[in-house]
Amino acid sequence: MSKNILDYETVDLDVESGELVVIDQTKLPGNIKIIRLKTAKDIWDAIYLLKVRGAPAIGVAAAMGLYVLALNHKNDDNVTFFKKLEEYRDYLNSARPTAVNLSWALARMYRLAQSMKNEPVSVILDALRDEALTIKKEDIEVCRAIGEYGLSLVKPGDGILTHCNAGQLATCKYGTATAPIYLGYERGYDFKVYADETRPLLQGARLTAFELHSAGIDVTLICDNMSATVMKQGKINAVFVGCDRVAANGDTANKIGTSVVAAVAKYYNVPVYICAPTSTIDLDTPTGDQINIEQRPGTEVTEMWYKERMAPDGVKVYNPAFDVTDHSLISGIVTEYGIAYEPYTESLKKLKEQGR
């Protein structure tokens, strides 16, 4: 029997060869290509160019990537080793500014190394390897827990709308926003899923529709501007989306277009649930206004995915990768420790403390 996309590891560490192994998601759905990364530039490019993407998967890839790069200095003295480790940490952290999991995972790895600074480099490397593998294991457990809590918010036969890709391809298994869908599928819930295509990078069309269809789930692809229509027709009972950063007040940054979906859902009285691990909650960011929104190249809008350029030469392009959904539009934030509700300044703080 041939493998489908769910049979591959989104992010993995080849311990024997000392390589970061990921699915090149820029090639999907037409070509499942596995790439092996060993240099700082290749790992940075893989994150920036969205070969590996989705906040949790980026965090896992960064942790494993930092370990892979640290291996290059296994014969160095401790002073040189830590100097290079800090350089690699800062370099990888510069790849994408919005997803907090990137900086969270790198900080966690570096903090562990710092706690062992007087140990031999070989011992520190072993600990970094184990920590990277633990982060991956935790991601799988976290996503399943998010799925269980999310599943409590819907009932069999419901219609669910999702935007972008917060599925297995954005994590190590289950996904965040799709975790309730996968668990529901296992239990015969017979969900009807609608996936926004998600312009301009088409993560909904290329990734979410691809993986859900591969799993045998009833999924229908729609253009981004069709969400109001399906809500008005009564086809949507809940919206589940992922998140790249949660501010202390409950504002959330997710793929561009999420705030539009949330505003429309509010009008049609459809609940919107943000699915996010507690590692994505950033209590140091008071509101969504302080979230640094990544700006992407204009060619993603005018040329990418087209055989011919689909806009006039020289036209100005504004291409923010994310938008911020105001907390007032969000019905609940689903984490591995439970569901946060208004006032988010209190509920998110409690959940974050559980995570610590």
Active site residues: 244
Beta-ladder partners of 13? 20
Residue 310: helix, strand or coil by DSSP? coil
Core vs surface per residue 252-278: b (16+ CB within 10 A) or e: bbbbbbbbbbbebbbeeebbbbbbbbb
Show the tokens assigned to 240: 């589940």
Sort residue 216 into left (φ over 0), alpha (ψ -120 to 50) or beta: left
Beta strands (DSSP E) in the chain are 11-14, 19-23, 34-37, 159-162, 192-196, 219-222, 238-241, 245-247, 252-255, 272-275, 281-282, 322-325, 332-335, 338-340
Residue showing tokens 């938008």: 323
CB 287 within 8 A of CB 264: no
Give the CA diameter of the chain: 66
Bond from prior residue into 297 cis (ω within 30 degrees of 0):
no
Phi, psi of 219 (to 5 degrees): -125, 135
210 Cβ neighbours under 8 A, 6+ residues apart: 5, 28, 29
Place of tokens 């690699």: 88
- Assign 35 to helix, strand or coil: strand
